[in-house]
Amino acid sequence: MEGARRPPRVPSNGAPPSRTNPEGQPWDYPVFAPRRADHTGPNGRGLFERRLDRMRRDFDGVRVDHPHGFVCPWVYRKDVPDPYAAVRAGARLFESPDLEDHPELRGFARIRADQIARTAPRFADRWVEWLSAEQVSTYAEELRKIRDAFPGPAGSRIACEVLSTCPLPLEESTRHLGLGRFRVTQKADPDNPDDVYRADRASPEDWIMVGTHDTPTIWALVDAWSSTDRSRREARALARVIDPTGELRVLDELSSDPARIGHAKFVEAFVSPASNLIVFSADWYGQRGRTNLPGVVSPENWRLRVPHESERR
């Protein structure tokens, strides 16, 4: 890793503005040296591959947190005083062939200037408009190593945490390798058929879940929804899933109790096309506390624990 001694012009990894964090997230993680990514050791195995060898001995599969970092990392300058301004003005490491404010990235470009949608923001999923088969293969190289390290159906052994942001290089790489994405259904707009989090948009290789460690629990949410029109909108959408022929009857039942909407969200996940389902522990135990507020440093993060009576439950 290019760590503490890296010069100021060497970029850091972060997250661009997104639906989850409009301000972006300046993580200040060092960029893995892209020209020396193999780091081949004495046994001929690269550093990354040796790590995978170790994981394969202990686990049946792996969750890839922020797979964008393996395919199309978002980087930002370290010599800008305001880190949030810097991360918003960042760029993707391999998709910046001619940016005037990031000349240091030109040598890493995997695309040509004519493949860029100049009217789109740099962080847009379609900043890159198209890729050749050869380019897709290059982008997928690191994820391919992960897939090959865990034999079997890739979609059930490798969980790629792709949330609201999925740039074309990542989308094409995961499709090429048979990997899915996350569908966090509590985030879906029940009235928007194109929302990426919707259960009915899932593919068999996807991983579906009502919530994660980075979201409110479903029980906290349904309580909050009960005082807004979101509760009725959710009930209407879920009624169509549970019983299309008796929609009005089910709608009345769901609307009568917020907890029923919470249970119905699990039904929606189980009957979706996705082959993989994750239930977060706080949702399983009916908790209402928050585990983590992403992008925020807080002493309250990661303090939620499984309730004492969990064994009895």
Q: Can you give the pLDDT at residue 11?
A: 82
Concatenated DSSP letters of 93-129: TTS-SS-TT-GGGGGG--S-GGGB-TTS-TTSTTSB-
Q: Which conformational region is residue 141 in: left (phi greater than 0), alpha (psi within -120 to 50 degrees), or beta?
A: alpha
Distance from C-alpha of 270 to C-alpha of 209, rounded to nearest angstrom: 9
Q: Can you give the pLDDT at residue 37?
A: 54
State which residues of the chain have pLDDT below 70. 1-10, 32-45, 310, 312-313
Distance from C-alpha of 130 to C-alpha of 171, rounded to nearest angstrom: 11
Q: Virtual CA dihedral for 226, 302, 57, 29, nearest 10 degrees? A: 110
The structural domains of the chain, with segments of one domain joined by +, span 181-313
Q: Can you give the pLDDT at residue 6?
A: 47
Amino acid symbol at 27 = W
Helix (H, G, I), strand (E, B) or coil at 159: strand
CB 117 within 8 A of CB 124: yes
- The total number of residues written for the chain in this structure: 313
Amino acid symbol at 15 = A
- φ and ψ of 209, to 5 deg: -160, 150
| Residue at token pair 């609201």 | 164
Distance from C-alpha of 63 to C-alpha of 136, rounded to nearest angstrom: 22
C-alpha 43: how far from chain center: 34
Q: Which of 172, 64, 165, 162 is nearest to 110 (CA)?
A: 172
Q: Which of 254, 222, 217, 221 is nearest to 237 (CA)?
A: 254
Question: How many other β-carbons are positioned within 10 Å of the β-carbon of residue 265?
Answer: 23
Residue 115 corresponds to which tokens in the numbers above? 């493949």
Q: Can you give the pLDDT at residue 212?
A: 96
Question: How many other β-carbons are positioned within 10 Å of the β-carbon of residue 1?
Answer: 11
Q: Which of 294, 291, 293 is nearest to 303 (CA)?
A: 291
Amino acid symbol at 116 = I
CB 53 within 8 A of CB 45: yes
Distance from C-alpha of 295 to C-alpha of 84, rounded to nearest angstrom: 11
Give the pTM: 0.89
Residue 205 corresponds to which tokens in the numbers above? 């290789």
84-141: pLDDT as tens digits: 999 999 999 999 999 999 999 999 999 999 999 999 999 999 999 999 999 999 999 9
Distance from C-alpha of 281 to C-alpha of 260, rounded to nearest angstrom: 19
Residue 96 corresponds to which tokens in the numbers above? 């910046």
Q: Virtual CA dihedral for 166, 172, 178, 184, nearest 10 degrees? A: 10
Q: Virtual CA dihedral for 200, 210, 214, 81, nearest 10 degrees? A: 20
